[in-house]
Amino acid sequence: MMKFYLTPGSCSTGIHILLEEIGLVFEAYIVNLLAGDQHKPEYLAFNPKATIPVLIRDDGVALTEFPAIAYWLAKSYPKAKLLPADLDGETRAIEWMHYIVGTVHGQGFTRIFTTDKYSQNPAEHAAIQAQGREMVIQSFEIINKALADKKYLLGTFSVADAALFYVEFWATRTEIPLPEHCAAHYQQMLKRPAVLQVLREEGYRY
């Protein structure tokens, strides 16, 4: 059985949603990032990057990096229709995932959540967090325009929406206002049974 390493309410929530959308049976392992589980030798043995999410496949191969795991899931379980069938649509899905994971999360939210990785000087932390917040707000404006005429980033639900959902979820928890179409996308996602199930399984009341 596949093994999925997650931290509730983190970027792994997006992959968790995809697993539930497909209807896969898997073993879930909670990684307590604050306690440093990701730095334990037994974890580093299969993921030396010390990050979540990780999906260990049936054949024992460990997959890391949100876009790679999402792409592998979508291509391995095509009946779930997590990627558009055409090359251009597939390319757009990858483009959005990289932007959301690499820029919105990797540059914006990391400045807010892991400020000490940017400076050891507490006097600089407020400015770094403000910069991260501004980066996130600007990114949501770009995403907002893309959502103006559709419910999902590519028209129908795809892996890109699972990525967008977790940063929208973080925005609602850090008092970053979601622009109109992102807020509508977030509500649309909350109507999906798989999303509600994941949030409940991860300990949230929805």
Ligand X SMILES: N[C@@H](CCC(=O)N[C@@H](CS)C(=O)NCC(=O)O)C(=O)O
Instruction: Specify the 3-state DSSP secondary structure of 66.
Output: helix
Minimum CB separation from ligand X for residue 149, in Å? 28
Quick one: which of 166, 182, 180 has its CA closest to 9?
166
38 touches ligand X by CB under 6 A: yes
54 touches ligand X by CB under 6 A: no
Which 66-105 positions form the footprint of ligand X (CB under 6 A)? 66, 101
What whole-number distance in Å separates Cα of residue 128 and Cα of residue 132?
A: 6
Q: Which of 24, 33, 137, 184 binds ligand X (CB under 6 A)?
A: 33
What whole-number distance in Å separates Cα of residue 104 and Cα of residue 200?
A: 25
- Total residues contacting ligand X by CB under 6 A comes to 12
Q: Which stretch binds ligand X (CB under 6 A): 50-58, 79-87, 143-151, 189-197?
A: 50-58
Q: Which of 17, 19, 52, 171 binds ligand X (CB under 6 A)?
A: 52
Q: Which stretch binds ligand X (CB under 6 A): 16-24, 47-55, 87-95, 171-179?
A: 47-55
Q: Which of 5, 20, 43, 51 binds ligand X (CB under 6 A)?
A: 51
Q: Which stretch binds ligand X (CB under 6 A): 45-53, 84-92, 182-190, 191-199?
A: 45-53
Instruction: Specify the 3-state DSSP secondary structure of 142.
Output: helix
Which 137-176 positions form the footprint of ligand X (CB under 6 A)? none
Q: Any long-range contacts for 42-50 (C-beta under 8 Å, 24+ apart)?
A: 43/5, 47/5
10 touches ligand X by CB under 6 A: yes
What letter would DSSP give residue 141? H
8 Å CB contact between 195 and 17: yes
Q: Which stretch binds ligand X (CB under 6 A): 49-57, 133-141, 173-181, 195-203?
A: 49-57
Footprint on this chain of ligand X (rule: CB under 6 A): 10-11, 33, 38, 50-53, 65-66, 101, 114
